[in-house]
Amino acid sequence: MLAGRRLRPVDRGAASAAVRASSPGLLRLEVVAGEPEVLVIGGGFGGLHVVRALSKGPAHVTIVDRHNFHTFQPLLYQVATAGLEPADVAYPIRTIFGRRSNVGFRHGAVAQLDLEGRRATLLDGAVIAFDHVVVACGAAANFFGIEGAERYATPLYTLADARRLRDRLLLTLEDAEEQPGIPAKPVNVVIVGGGPTGIETAGAVTELLNVCLRRDHLRIDPASAKVILLDVAPRLLGGFPGSASDYAAKVLTRRGVDVRLEASVASVTSDAVILASGERIASSVVVWAAGVTATGTIAASVRGAGPSGRIAVAPDLSIPGHANAWAVGDAAAIPDGKGSTCPQLAPVAIQSGRHCGRQILRAIEGRDTEPFTYHDKGIMATIGRNAAVAKVPGAPLVKGRLGWLAWMSLHLFYLVGFRNRIRVFVNWTWRYFDWPSGPRLIMSDAETAD
């Protein structure tokens, strides 16, 4: 059965000279003699763009990820608030590179990375030898050691986070309904962090509450359903101009969000967020949008870890002391040329990934590598329907409906996969004209119960 496709001849032991020297006798598959082996760890924005840059060159690339899909992280908050489905923002990595014969995917996690021996051991015991390796494994939520935060707050960095948060929000709403014999519970959604993720989530949760109460007729007293946005700084959207901060605070407040500035979180419990001032804010769900760190096993195993556990890299993105090892995206502390490091943002991951791929090709060709320069094309954040802020360097701040349309166009453009673009576009259009009879599905109980 399944005729029509044959395994390509396997050329065992024909790895490049460097690999053979360091890994004698290693079993190898589908290796074209002399073509250098590149291992890319992580299929996020950084890793994908490394592979894209490499896929046209004389290299064989293996991309390893714990998930068989790439996640479009900027829209995770819409999955968390039941606006989009998981499949709308996830795309199988195999499918992305399906037509490139020199790119392979491996589903698994790296247990051990041996930069000297140029080999990675996966959790299932498989060994992958390489000539070059790129660490593009991203980051994780930064809880800053705040007591109870990791246990009781939900971050919004992975698709699993988004699905968990959605279920928590919807279950909280179901549980809050008045029931015979059971007193009604208030709904308090507390969002910690007033950056783009925080304000996007605050706006979307408000819209979700409105839809659930108006469309789904949940018997919840609107006065007892609150969204509280906390930021430690004196203004929201720290990286934006002051007028953007004021606009975001004004729009969110008008839409019902309780914006609390200079609010420093001391601890999180099962039902409250405690501020440094001693104030106790009751919470049913806590969203952690306070920033990321990079303290994974792989980052830790690489010598010379930089700020927030990120891997320190040279200006060409190579890891100092290992000419054939590289790091990109959120996992890397990339010098910005001004004595600091680039922010952990999607555009930095995309640009550093592309640059890294090109440098590996230069190294393969024996040419000198070039330093990475981040081209800041601007930042944007959406607050909800018809409200977003966009700041392009050298141009005035764009806000309101125009900013919102710009935000939507850019996100559709960067979304991987034509079909996902169509689905998200149709979804957004639909929701603009009519609140959706959308996917407010609680899935977690479907995992356990029958």
Contact call for residues 369 and 359 (beta carbons, < 8 A): yes
Judged by CB under 8 A, which of 20, 22, 32, 86 binds a second copy? 86
Residue 4 binds to a second copy (criterion: CB under 8 A): yes
Residues 247-276 that bind a second copy (CB under 8 A): 255-257
Q: What is the DSSP string of 204-242?
A: HHHHHHHHHHHTS-----GGGEEEEEE-SSSSS-TTS-H
The piece of 102-110, 237-245, 332-340, 400-408 that touches a second copy (CB under 8 A) is 102-110
Contact call for residues 290 and 193 (beta carbons, < 8 A): yes
Judged by CB under 8 A, which of 135, 140, 325, 406 binds a second copy? 140
Residues 282-321 that bind a second copy (CB under 8 A): none
Nearer to a second copy, 196 or 296 (CB): 296
In this structure, the number of other CB atoms found within 10 A of the CB of residue 280 comes to 13
Structure letter (DSSP) for residue 88: H
The rounded distance, in Å, linking the Cα atoms of 215 and 82 is: 14
Beta bridge partners of 333: 312
Integer-rounded Cα radius of gyration of the chain: 24
Closest approach, Cβ 154 to a second copy, in A, equals: 12
Judged by CB under 8 A, which of 14, 20, 92, 269 binds a second copy? 92
Site size for a second copy (CB under 8 A) = 95
In this structure, the number of other CB atoms found within 10 A of the CB of residue 245 comes to 22
Contact call for residues 411 and 45 (beta carbons, < 8 A): no
The piece of 233-241, 322-330, 356-364, 440-448 that touches a second copy (CB under 8 A) is 440-448
Which residues participate in catalysis according to the annotation? Answer: 200
Amino acid identity of residue 361, one-letter, is: L
Nearer to a second copy, 59 or 356 (CB): 59
Distances (CA, A) of 72 to 184, 283, 393: 37, 28, 25
Closest approach, Cβ 2 to a second copy, in A, equals: 4
Judged by CB under 8 A, which of 109, 232, 266, 405 binds a second copy? 109
The piece of 46-54, 90-98, 304-312, 383-391 that touches a second copy (CB under 8 A) is 90-98
Judged by CB under 8 A, which of 17, 33, 160, 402 binds a second copy? 160
Closest approach, Cβ 123 to a second copy, in A, equals: 10
Closest approach, Cβ 393 to a second copy, in A, equals: 34
Contact call for residues 437 and 95 (beta carbons, < 8 A): no
The rounded distance, in Å, linking the Cα atoms of 308 and 241 is: 25
Residue 186 binds to a second copy (criterion: CB under 8 A): no
Handedness of CA 69, 74, 77, 82 (dihedral sign): negative
Residue 30 binds to a second copy (criterion: CB under 8 A): yes
The piece of 169-177, 236-244, 322-330, 377-385 that touches a second copy (CB under 8 A) is 169-177
Residues 207-236 that bind a second copy (CB under 8 A): 209-210, 212-223, 225-227
Encoded one letter per residue, x for contact with a second copy by CB under 8 A and - for no contact, window 51-70 reads ---------------xxxx-
Residues 404-433 that bind a second copy (CB under 8 A): 417-419, 423, 430
Amino acid identity of residue 291, one-letter, is: G
- Supply angle C-alpha 389, 91, 39, rounded to 5: 105
Residue 159 binds to a second copy (criterion: CB under 8 A): yes
Contact call for residues 330 and 307 (beta carbons, < 8 A): no
Closest approach, Cβ 358 to a second copy, in A, equals: 25
The rounded distance, in Å, linking the Cα atoms of 360 and 366 is: 10
Closest alpha carbon to 368 in 332, 316, 322: 316
Closest approach, Cβ 444 to a second copy, in A, equals: 9
Judged by CB under 8 A, which of 18, 111, 163, 266 binds a second copy? 163
Closest approach, Cβ 384 to a second copy, in A, equals: 13
Residue with tokens 């809880």: 143
Nearer to a second copy, 215 or 362 (CB): 215
Nearer to a second copy, 106 or 118 (CB): 106
Contact call for residues 247 and 236 (beta carbons, < 8 A): no
Closest approach, Cβ 96 to a second copy, in A, equals: 8
Residue 170 binds to a second copy (criterion: CB under 8 A): yes
Closest alpha carbon to 311 in 339, 288, 344, 337: 344
Residue 442 binds to a second copy (criterion: CB under 8 A): yes
